[in-house]
Amino acid sequence: MSYKWLKFLILWIPTVTIGLWEYTRHAFLLEYISMDLGNLLAPLLVLIVTLTLLRGLFAKLEQTQEALQRERLVKASLEQREQLGRELHDGISQSLFLLSVQMDRLEHAESEEAALQKREQIRGTIKHVYEDVRQSIANLQSIPAADDVSWNQAIHTLAEEMRQTSGMKVVIDWRLGEGLLSSKHKIELLAIIREALMNIRKHANASVASVICTEAAGQPSGSGSTFRCLIRDNGMGTSQSSLEGKGKYGVRMMRDRAERMGWTLRITGRTGEGTEVEITNESEAGQ
């Protein structure tokens, strides 16, 4: 039975029931049932019909809604995997091109000292490619499956993964309702948080990071709601000019993701004072 027919039957069955009851009562039952008793039996009859007929229709409607939600989540997951594939391809292509340039320079090195320096640069590039591949694989594995229901659980799993791989403690303050964001928005937000934590793990030399996500006060849940997520660390920090410099692929990917969703992403850092990443959807909610 289609979703359209379900809505049609749920709307019309109580109406038809009352109509048939009133016709039957006035045509055949007036001699046996008083007006007051008939008025009392009318809502009771509708309740009985609802419990017997509409209960099954409501259950079917809920199943249809759940199936649609799973399909949307699967679609969002596939889109996310395609995006990660493009990012992985682009990152490896850039790194391999850089490796070829460095190899050419190594072959034309004029001294042993220059050759040693080029070899160290090549090692650094290879390490960078390795880390990018590992991170992309981890991102693919972290995309929630269609039957996942708790994004709160997903963010805590990410925090535990960071602790196991680097020893860095991640404190979670998660106050976003499950229904606040769509499936695609949840996946993108989780990917940005993962990227921010990966950057902290690789570059900040931090022992503690915190993820604080809250819904704006006074806003109802839904597409018009606003949220604010902060990712902070107690690491060595960096200058703002360094954050905006070339080669910051992680920063660029976070900005690209936020821009596609219509969010605002701000990254602030001060040398010796840690770094803060802020994601908000204020501009999107205000549209």
Final residue of a structural domain among 94, 114, 147 = 147
Name the domain count of the chain. Answer: 2
Residue 167 contacts by C-beta under 8 Å, 6 or more apart in sequence?
A: 207
Q: Are residues 120 and 22 located together in one domain of the fold?
A: yes
Domain boundary among 147, 177, 202: 147
Residue in the structure block whose two tokens are 């050419």: 104
231 CB neighbour count, 10 Å cutoff: 25
Residue 233 has pLDDT above 80, yes or no: yes
Greatest CA separation for the chain: 116
Q: Same structural domain for residues 132 and 194?
A: no
Lowest mean pLDDT among 119-123, 182-186, 217-221, 247-251: 217-221
Give every CB contact of residue 74 below 8 A, 6+ residues apart in sequence. Answer: 146
The larger pLDDT score, comparing residue 180 to residue 77, is at: 180
Q: Are residues 165 and 55 in the same domain?
A: no
Residue-level pLDDT at 209: 93
Whether residue 207 sits in one domain with residue 164: yes
Residue 77 has pLDDT above 80, yes or no: no
CATH code of the domain in which 239 resides: 3.30.565.10
Strands 275-280 and 227-233: antiparallel
155 & 141 share domain: no
- Give the model's pLDDT for residue 181: 79
Euclidean distance between the first and the last CA atom of the chain, given in angstroms as a whole number: 37
Residue of higher predicted confidence among 43 and 7: 43
* Rounded-to-integer distance, Cα 70 and Cα 97, Å: 40
Distance between CA atoms of residues 80 and 73, nearest Å: 10
Q: Where are the alpha helices (DSSP H) in 110-182?
A: 112-142, 151-166
- Are both 49 and 191 inside the same structural domain? no
Q: How much is the mean pLDDT over the chain?
A: 77
Distance of CA 63 to the CA centre of its chain: 23
pTM: 0.53
Which of 118, 147, 176 is the last residue before a domain boundary? 147
> pLDDT category, 266, cuts 50, 70, 90?
very high
How confident is the model at residue 210, as a pLDDT? Answer: 94
* Beta-strand pair 169-175/208-215: parallel
pLDDT band for position 228 (cuts 50, 70, 90):
very high
CA distance 269 to 287: 30
Query: Domain range for residue 174?
Result: 149-287
